[in-house]
Amino acid sequence: MRILLVEDDADLGPAIARALRAEHFAVDLATDGIDGAHLGETEAFDAAVLDLGLPGKDGITVLAEWRRAGRTMPVLILTAREAWSDKVAGFKAGADDYLVKPFRVEELVMRLRALVRRAAGHAAARIACGAIGFDTQTGQFELDGLPLKLTAFEWRVLSALMLRKETVVERLDLLERVYEGDADVDSNSLEVIVGRLRKKIGAAAIETVRGRGYRLTADGKAP
C-alpha cells in the first residue's frame, strides 16, 4: 500500500512517515499544498493523509482539485482544526475520514487500512483467498491459520494482490504501489519479490498472466 502524506510540520511529517513505514506502507511525503496537489494528481496512491493548514495551497483546495480531476483515492484529513465547520468543509470537498491532532498513530494506521480495504470493495475486516488469510485491522497475514512472516516489500505486493484477489493486477500498478516515488527500482525487482512470496505461500497461489501482471488465486488454475 502506498500512501501520500501531505504535512508541512518539519517534525511531525517525517515522524508520521516513519511510523507508517514501520507498518509496511510505502510513503511519499509532500511538505506544501502545491507539491501535494501535483503528486495526488499524477501518481498512484492507495490513500492520502492531508493536513489543512498548508503553505502554498490549503488542504481543502488541494482535495477539491483532486476530486475535480477525477482522483478517487480515499483521503483522510489530519488536522488540528476540530471545529464542526472545518469538518463539514472537509467532507464537502471530498474527504473520506477526518482525524484531529493530537492523535494516536495506531488509530491513524487502522483508519487508513479500513479506507483502503473499503475502497477495494471489501466490507469485512478479514479477507481470505484459499489458505491465505489477511486481517486488515492488524495487517497480519496467515497461511493455514499460522502467522506469515513477510518483508515490507512482500507485504505490499501480497496486500495489493489480496485486496484484488482472483483479479489480474497489472505489473505497473503493482510497482506503483510497492515503491515510493523517489525509489531506485531494478527492472526485475518485482519478479524477485513475487518469487520469494511463492516460496512462502505456494507457487500456484500467484499466477503470472503474460504481458499483463499477476493474480492471486485460491485454486491455482491457469488463466
For the chain (length 223 residues), average pLDDT per consecutive 10? 96 97 95 96 95 96 96 96 95 97 95 95 94 94 94 94 95 88 74 94 93 87 37
Same domain, residue pair 115 and 130? no
DSSP string, 122-151: --SSEEEETTEEEETTTTEEEETTEE----
Same domain, residue pair 66 and 91? yes
Please say which residue of 79, 98, 119 terminates a domain: 119
Look at residue 61 and tell me if it is in a domain: yes
Same domain, residue pair 114 and 14? yes
Please say which residue of 98, 119, 140 terminates a domain: 119
Neighbours of 119 (CB within 10 A): 15
Same domain, residue pair 11 and 102? yes
Look at residue 98 and tell me if it is in a domain: yes
Same domain, residue pair 182 and 202? yes
Strand stretches in 8-129, DSSP E: 26-30, 47-50, 75-79, 97-100, 126-129
Same domain, residue pair 140 and 111? no
The range of the structural domain enclosing residue 158 comes to 126-216
Position 185 scores a pLDDT of: 67
Same domain, residue pair 58 and 109? yes
The three cell numbers of residue 223 are 488463466
Segment holding 169, helix H or strand E: strand 169-170
Look at residue 89 and tell me if it is in a domain: yes
The three cell numbers of residue 27 are 510513503
Look at residue 223 and tell me if it is in a domain: no
Number of structural domains, the chain? 2
Question: What is the torsional sign of CA 165, 168, 171, 172?
Answer: negative
The three cell numbers of residue 57 are 495551497
Position 221 scores a pLDDT of: 42
Look at residue 51 and tell me if it is in a domain: yes
State the CATH number of the domain containing residue 59: 3.40.50.2300
Look at residue 147 and tell me if it is in a domain: yes
Same domain, residue pair 97 and 22? yes
Same domain, residue pair 100 and 135? no
Look at residue 185 and tell me if it is in a domain: yes
Position 5 scores a pLDDT of: 98
Neighbours of 124 (CB within 10 A): 8
Please say which residue of 119, 141, 169 terminates a domain: 119
Same domain, residue pair 7 and 115? yes
Same domain, residue pair 97 and 167? no
State the CATH number of the domain containing residue 190: 1.10.10.10
Look at residue 222 and tell me if it is in a domain: no
Place of cell 504481458: 211
